Amino acid sequence: MEPATIYEREYPDDDDDPDFLIPAISEDTPHIPYKPLKRPMNDVVQRSLDYYELMSKRRTVRKFSTEPIPQEVLDNIVKTAGTAPSGAHTEPWTFVVVQDPSTKEAIRGIVEEEEEQNYARRMSRQWVTDLKPFATNHKKPYLSDAPALILVFRQMYSWRADGKKRMHYYNEISVAIAAGFLLAAIQYCGLVALTSTPLNCNARLRDLLSRPTNERLELLLPVGKPHEDTTVPDIKRKNLEEIMINV
């Protein structure tokens, strides 16, 4: 008889500590009725169309107006991002909103320094070639021009009230969903953004912003109104038949 296969858990338990298996959220958490607003189906159809038409106008912008954004707007779009679902309700995200000019300049300096190396030797030649239609390079003036930068950090784990480590399950996809909510909120309120993933900048930007080591920078979004001279590439999105399969 062959020996039984022993599978290792992806998230191993601390077998020596029985208190480890106490849920991070109380087992006594009450479940309450959920009663969202009921809409007639014709209203549902119209709202789905209206929302698509709004979101279909979303574009990535690299030239921003310097007009300030009211703090209330920034608060509301981040609160919206915070409504995203997350694994075991861990909410593994931190949104750092930067409006201070000197801090924006410091962020720009770090990103441009790293991006110069990225374009020169870290990124593949094919990657650099694929970016040519978008006219990108290591210069990032929008990082100081945009009135606000939102840096999205992913919390890989946190600490419970009893001092034990709290695992953040599916933290990558949870933060990605929250970022989608954030981009939708930015578009809905009439602003624009650039979705960037600063390569090799995590440690330096984390230190600059005094973030703990359990957090990792995932996205950097300049946010504001588009500059009056802004242009975008004349590209098309895939049609419905290319992205949807009905079964």
Residue 206 covered by a domain: yes
Residue 4 covered by a domain: no
Residue 220 covered by a domain: yes
Residue 48 covered by a domain: no
| Tally of domains within the chain | 1
* pLDDT digit string (tens) for the chain, length 247 residues: 666 666 566 555 555 565 567 787 888 999 999 999 999 999 999 999 999 999 999 999 999 999 999 999 999 999 999 999 999 999 999 999 999 999 999 999 999 999 989 899 899 999 989 999 988 899 999 999 999 999 999 999 998 888 888 899 999 999 999 999 999 999 999 999 999 998 999 999 999 999 999 999 999 999 999 999 999 999 999 999 999 999 9
Residue 54 covered by a domain: no
Which residue segment(s) compose the domain that 79 sits in?
59-227
Q: What is the pLDDT of residue 23?
A: 80
Query: Which candidate, 135, 136, 133, places its Cα nearest to that of 199?
Result: 136
CA R_g for the chain: 22
Q: Could you give the CA distance from residue 213 to residue 201 in angstroms, rounded to a whole number?
A: 14
Residue 122 covered by a domain: yes
Residue 246 covered by a domain: no
Q: CATH number of the domain at 130, please.
A: 3.40.109.10
- Check: CB of residue 204 under 8 Å from CB of residue 211: no
